[in-house]
Amino acid sequence: MRRRSWYWSRVWVAVVVVVFVVLLNKSLRSDDIDEVVDRRNKLHPVEMKVRKPRDCAITSWAEVKEAHQYPDDKDVSMEKDVVSRREHIQNMCRTHVHTGGRVSDPYIHVPSNLSMCLVPKVGCTFWKRVFFHLYGDSGKTPGQVSTPLDIDRLYVHFGGNRTPKTVSLNTQPGRDVIFNSTRVMFARDPWSRLWSAYVDKFILPDSWLDHGQNIVQLRPKLGVSGDEGPNSNHTRDAKQMFQRFVCADDITFSEFLNYAFQVSIDPHWSPIHELCDPCIFRPHVVGKMETFARDARYVLVTSGLGHLLQGLDHASHVQDELQLLTRYHFRMLEQRPLLRACLDDVSLARRLWRAFQLNGYIAPGRGFPAELLTRELQGATPSQSAALVTSLVTAAATDSAFGHAQWAAVRHRHMVAAYRAVSKDLLAAMQERFALDFDLFQYDREPADIFTVLP
């Protein structure tokens, strides 16, 4: 009997010890989990509120209005848009658990606590110039640079020193700095973005020697017909075969779209979510190209960088764009000998003139001054040619006197005309390829002015 009593007493002691250990371990695990959750929430806060940057005292739209004079009273809706766009992204990311995208190394400016995920054809050049300027990286002496707009496009895309401007989310230090900053990205209507990529890369000669040559070689497979785009000219004689197969100067919009959807993955025409996945980046502010000046001002002012606003208006943007693209392409012509065999200075000027008309900077009916340029550019150096053409296109844009609304209408009209010449199958392929962009960033996947005219 005593032995049995001793046995059961040992059992009870063991049970008590086991219960104690289990409770202790549970407590320790809860503490560990709480610590992990707390640390995760610090790095990835669930409530994505725009936190006050370290060197910034302006956080509300009322203060923004007081700090900087805006020309349009409707801009007071910006804060409402910021919240609405952010909440929409959050809701979409809960629905689409995995979008299949990534985040290219974001730009970061630690003093202002501002980080940005940049996407080509969505204000990328402007924001790169801002970050380069903030780090004093301009390729010029300090006295030559007073605003980001003084930094050359070629230097931004192909030059630049190794001043740390980007960080990788593949490292813990990179994640720490990004997810403790105010995160910004910009979006653009896919219809407009693709049209802009075509004009910049194929109406202008930027991609003739790579993507253009690929398209020419793939023409039998792509099998596009019925597109008489703004630069279509497939009927060539033997003397022009060099331009046809080497220069690739006659790529149509339909050929480009077929190539973009079937063959080529390029950041300039890849969906935004594949390059900068908002479900990974979790932006506090989603700006849009359609309201770029307003949204960019909001980002700069609320980040304590309002002093960079000099020149950020439509008229200055047009002047800068004309000068930037003209200088860029004449320097490219100088640096790529094969392009020089495809284009002379007058031909390049004609291309620029056409691109500026398609972009709404020069009135559609304004004739290209061929005789004047043929005479004046003879024997000119590349820099002299760029200066003369810049002067002429700037004067033409000034004479056109398009305000922002007129500019947008002209540009949109050209874009719609280009899409109307595209087949139904290509339009359907476009809708499928950019389906998530349409949904994430709230753009119309079937614009009435493009689709209602189709038979």
Residue 308 contacts residue 149 (beta carbons within 8 Å): no
Q: What is the predicted pLDDT for the residue at 165?
A: 87
pLDDT higher than 70, residue 443: yes
Q: Which tokens belong to 212?
A: 């253009």
Is the confidence at residue 340, as pLDDT, over 70?
yes
With beta carbons less than 8 A apart as the criterion, state whether 129 and 148 touch.
Answer: yes
For residue 204, what pLDDT is reported? 96
Percent of the chain predicted with pLDDT > 70: 74
Mean pLDDT lowest among 12-26, 169-183, 281-295, 334-348: 12-26
User: In one letter, which amino acid is 4?
Assistant: R
What value does the mean pLDDT take over residues 161-189? 90
Residue 455 is predicted with a pLDDT of 53
**C-alpha triplet 36, 101, 276: angle, nearest 5°:** 90
pLDDT for 196 equals: 96
Mean pLDDT of 250-256: 95
Three-state secondary structure call for residue 229? coil
pLDDT by residue (tens digit) across 209-243? 999 999 998 887 766 544 444 454 554 555 566 66
Tokens of 447: 């614009």
Q: How far apart are the first and last CA of the chain?
A: 100
Q: Per-residue pLDDT averaged across 360-366, rounded?
A: 89
State the average pLDDT over residues 311-333.
83
Q: What are the pLDDT digits (tens) for 364-412?
A: 889 999 999 999 999 898 889 999 999 999 999 888 766 667 878 889 9
Average pLDDT, the chain: 79
Q: What is the pLDDT of residue 31?
A: 33
Question: Which pLDDT score is estimated for 453?
Answer: 60
Q: Which two tokens stand for residue 368?
A: 């290209």
Distance CA 257, CA 262 (A): 8
- Comparing CA positions, the residue from 394, 302, 343, 405 lying closest to residue 49 is 302
Facing residues of 114 across strands? 109, 182
Q: Say if residue 321's pLDDT is above 90.
A: no
Distance between alpha carbon 197 and the CA centroid of its chain, in Å? 11
| pLDDT tens-digit readout, 119-154 | 999 999 999 999 999 998 887 877 788 888 888 877
pLDDT value at position 228? 44
pTM score: 0.79
Q: What integer pLDDT is reported at residue 402 of this predicted model?
A: 67
| Percent of the residues in the chain that have a pLDDT greater than 90, as a whole number | 50
Instruction: Specify the pLDDT at position 212.
Output: 94
Give the pLDDT band (50/70/90) at residue 262.
confident
Residue 309 banded pLDDT, cuts 50, 70, 90: confident
DSSP run (H or E) holding 184 = strand 182-187
**Choice between 30 and 98, residue whose per-residue pLDDT is larger:** 98
For 56-113, write each residue's pLDDT tens digit.
Answer: 333 333 333 333 344 444 456 788 999 999 999 999 998 875 667 889 899 999 999 9
